Chains A and B, each alone.
Chain A
Amino acid sequence: MSDPSLTPIHSETPERPLSEPVLSVRDLIVEIPTRYAVLRPVDQVSYDIAPGEILGVVGESGAGKSMTGNAVIGLLDRPAHIADGEIWLKGRRIDNLRRDQMRAIRGKEIGMIFQDPLTSLNPLLRIGDQLSETILEHLPVSRAEARVRALQALDEVGIPAAAERLNSYPHEFSGGMRQRVVIALALCAEPSLVIADEPTTALDVSVQAQIIALLKRLCREKGTSVILVTHDMGVIAEAADRVAVMYAGRLAELGPVAQVLKTPRHPYTDGLVGSMPMASAGKERLRQIPGSMPRLGSLPDGCAFHPRCPRAETRCRQNPGPTLGADHGRAACWFPVGEVS
Chain B
Amino acid sequence: MLAYIIRRVFQSLLVLLIVGLVAFSMFRFVGDPVDNMLGQERTQADIDRLRGDLGLDQPFPVQYWKFLGGAIQGNFGVSYRQGRPVADIIVERAPATLELAAVSGLFAILGGIGLGVFTAIRRNGLAANAIMTLSLIGVSLPTFLIGILLIYVFSVELDLLPSFGRGEVVNLGWWSTGFLTQSGLLALILPSITLGLYQMTLIMRLVRSEMLEVLRQDYIRFARARGLRERAVNFRHAIKNTLVPVITVTGLQLGSIIAFAIITETVFQWPGVGLLFINAVQFVDIPVMAAYLMLISVMFVAINLIVDLLYFAIDPRLRVDGRAT
Binding site for B on A (CB under 8 A): 73, 75, 103-108, 111-112, 114, 116, 119-125, 133-134, 137-138, 168-169, 171-174, 177, 182, 185-186, 189
B222 engages A182 (CB within 8 Å) = yes
A123 engages B229 (CB within 8 Å) = no
Query: What band does the interface of chain B fall in when counting residues whose beta carbon is under 8 Å from A?
Result: 20 to 34
Tell me the minimal C-beta distance from A120 to chain B in angstroms. 5
Q: Is B217 engaged at the interface, CB distance under 8 Å to the other chain? A: yes
With A103-B229, A119-B217, A171-B317 known as contacts, the answer to whether A112 contacts B222 (CB < 8 A) is yes
Contact among A75, A105, A107, A173 with B221 in the assembled complex (CB-CB below 8 Å): A75
Q: Is B7 engaged at the interface, CB distance under 8 Å to the other chain? A: no
B227 engages A119 (CB within 8 Å) = no
- Which 9 A/B pairs are nearest by Cβ-Cβ distance? A107-B227, A106-B227, A112-B225, A119-B218, A107-B226, A169-B316, A122-B219, A120-B222, A134-B226
A124 engages B315 (CB within 8 Å) = yes
Q: Report the Cα distance A121→B236, complex, angstroms.
A: 13
A123 engages B227 (CB within 8 Å) = no
A137 engages B316 (CB within 8 Å) = no
Can you spell out 29 A-B residue pairs with CB atoms less than 8 angstroms apart? A75-B221, A103-B229, A105-B227, A106-B225, A106-B226, A107-B227, A107-B228, A111-B226, A112-B222, A114-B225, A116-B218, A120-B222, A123-B241, A123-B315, A123-B317, A124-B240, A124-B241, A124-B244, A124-B314, A125-B237, A133-B232, A134-B226, A137-B226, A169-B316, A171-B316, A171-B324, A173-B325, A174-B325, A185-B222
Question: Which B-chain residue is minimally distant from A108 (CB atoms)?
Answer: B227
Tell me the minimal C-beta distance from A160 to chain B in angstroms. 10
Which of chain A's residues have a CB closer than 8 A to the CB of B232?
133, 137
Tell me the minimal C-beta distance from A110 to chain B in angstroms. 8
Q: Report the Cα distance A172→B186, complex, angstroms.
A: 51
A138 engages B227 (CB within 8 Å) = yes
Question: Which B-chain residue is minimally distant from A112 (CB atoms)?
Answer: B225
Question: Which A-chain residue is minimally distant from B214 (CB atoms)?
Answer: A122
Tell me the minimal C-beta distance from A98 to chain B in angstroms. 13
Q: Report the Cα distance A122→B226, complex, angstroms.
A: 13
Q: Report the Cα distance A116→B222, complex, angstroms.
A: 11
Which of chain A's residues have a CB closer than 8 A to the CB of B229?
103, 137
Q: Is B49 engaged at the interface, CB distance under 8 Å to the other chain? A: no
Which of chain B's residues have a CB closer than 8 A to the CB of A116?
218
Which of chain A's residues have a CB closer than 8 A to the CB of B241?
122-124
Q: Report the Cα distance A324→B221, complex, angstroms.
A: 31
Binding site for A on B (CB under 8 A): 217-219, 221-230, 232, 236-237, 240-241, 244, 314-317, 323-325
B219 engages A172 (CB within 8 Å) = no
Tell me the minimal C-beta distance from A181 to chain B in angstroms. 11
Which of chain B's residues have a CB closer than 8 A to the CB of A108?
227
A107 engages B225 (CB within 8 Å) = yes
Which of chain A's residues have a CB closer than 8 A to the CB of B237?
122, 125
B227 engages A103 (CB within 8 Å) = yes
A121 engages B323 (CB within 8 Å) = no
Contact among A125, A134, A174 with B227 in the assembled complex (CB-CB below 8 Å): A134
Which of chain B's residues have a CB closer than 8 A to the CB of A186?
225-226
Q: Report the Cα distance A111→B226, complex, angstroms.
A: 7
Q: Report the Cα distance A168→B325, complex, angstroms.
A: 10
Which of chain B's residues have a CB closer than 8 A to the CB of A185?
222, 226
Give the residue among A105, A125, A186 with the most B Cβ atoms within 10 A.
Answer: A125
Q: Report the Cα distance A122→B235, complex, angstroms.
A: 13
Question: Which B-chain residue is minimally distant from A109 (CB atoms)?
Answer: B227
Give the residue among A119, A122, A133 with the most B Cβ atoms within 10 A.
Answer: A122
Which of chain A's residues have a CB closer than 8 A to the CB of B218?
114, 116, 119-120
Q: Report the Cα distance A114→B325, complex, angstroms.
A: 22
Q: Report the Cα distance A121→B229, complex, angstroms.
A: 17
Which of chain A's residues have a CB closer than 8 A to the CB of B315?
123-124
A133 engages B228 (CB within 8 Å) = yes
B228 engages A119 (CB within 8 Å) = no
B227 engages A122 (CB within 8 Å) = no
Question: Which A-chain residue is minimally distant from B124 (CB atoms)?
Answer: A78
B228 engages A120 (CB within 8 Å) = no
Q: Report the Cα distance A112→B229, complex, angstroms.
A: 16
Q: Report the Cα distance A137→B232, complex, angstroms.
A: 10
Question: Which A-chain residue is minimally distant from B217 (CB atoms)?
Answer: A119
What 6 new A-B contacts, CB under 8 Å, besides A103-B229, A108-B227, A137-B226? Answer: A73-B225, A124-B315, A134-B226, A137-B228, A186-B225, A189-B226
Q: Report the Cα distance A73→B232, complex, angstroms.
A: 19
Q: Report the Cα distance A105→B227, complex, angstroms.
A: 7
Contact among B236, B240, B314 with A133 in the assembled complex (CB-CB below 8 Å): B236
Question: Which B-chain residue is minimally distant from A103 (CB atoms)?
Answer: B227
Which of chain A's residues have a CB closer than 8 A to the CB of B316?
123-124, 169, 171
Q: Report the Cα distance A3→B223, complex, angstroms.
A: 51
Tell me the minimal C-beta distance from A145 to chain B in angstroms. 18
Which of chain B's residues have a CB closer than 8 A to the CB of A73?
225
Tell me the minimal C-beta distance from A194 to chain B in angstroms. 10
Q: Report the Cα distance A189→B226, complex, angstroms.
A: 9
Q: Report the Cα distance A174→B325, complex, angstroms.
A: 6
Tell me the minimal C-beta distance from B74 to chain A in angstroms. 41
Q: Report the Cα distance A133→B325, complex, angstroms.
A: 24
A75 engages B219 (CB within 8 Å) = no
Q: Report the Cα distance A182→B218, complex, angstroms.
A: 12
Tell me the minimal C-beta distance from B247 to chain A in angstroms. 13
Tell me the minimal C-beta distance from B248 to chain A in angstroms. 16
Tell me the minimal C-beta distance from A164 to chain B in angstroms. 8
B227 engages A137 (CB within 8 Å) = yes
Which of chain A's residues have a CB closer than 8 A to the CB of B244?
124
Which of chain B's residues have a CB closer than 8 A to the CB of A172?
323-325
Question: Which A-chain residue is minimally distant from B240 (CB atoms)?
Answer: A124
Tell me the minimal C-beta distance from B241 to chain A in angstroms. 6
Which of chain B's residues have a CB closer than 8 A to the CB of A103?
224, 227-230
